Amino acid sequence: PEGEALEREWAEFNGSKHAMAFNTGTAALHTALFAAGVGPGDEVITSAFSFSGSYNPILQQGAIPIFVDIDPRTYNLNVSEVEAKITDRTKALLPVDIHGLPADMDEIRALAQNHNLVVVEDACQAHGATYKGRMAGTLGDLGCFSLNATKNLAGGEGGLLLTDNDQFVKRAEMFRTFGERVGEEKEAFRPYYSY
């Protein structure tokens, strides 16, 4: 009940349709990349300034992290350098909301839309932060948070994933349950919160 309450309350707090809890923020990011269909040989563009938990999930999916330098004013992904890194192998953009400051998500979303890319927002350090009135973690197609003891919302350890995309949450649920598709016989048990 506590896990379900956490998922429900986190979804409601952020205004997201789905929330899922994980053992770490890194696991949430790994699951988000899987849900987005990132696989071997794909490229994921991300910030050169972050914790290894931002790029290790890319490697765990057999994909290639493509690093972009940061804006020296905000320490976030320098959006002006992203488009030059996009290739036919690019599958996703993974901006990092560093030190509680969301990345320039309007420009990132526009690039993603123009190139048919998924945006996985690493909001592991941005609990409760807003960007133009919207909550961090809801600005991409999937958003992930960490509850590590060093984060601004610490729970000792843990992670959370947000998305409004029903297909992504189905894939994420499968990944979280070792590839199992939860059928009607288990419908009474909801392994994530959705409203």
By annotation, the residues acting in catalysis are: 151
- Phi, psi (5° rounding) for residue 145? -130, 155
Q: Which amino acid is at 35?
A: A
| Measured distance CA(135)–CA(13) in Å, rounded | 9
The conformation of residue 71, written as its DSSP 8-state character, comes to P
- Measured CA to CA, the distance from residue 83 to residue 80 in angstroms comes to 7
d(CA 128, CA 161): 14
Which residues contact residue 75 at a Cβ distance below 8 angstroms, ignoring those fewer than 6 apart? Answer: 49, 98, 99, 101
Distant-in-sequence, close-in-space partners of 60: CB < 8 Å, separation ≥ 6: 30, 33
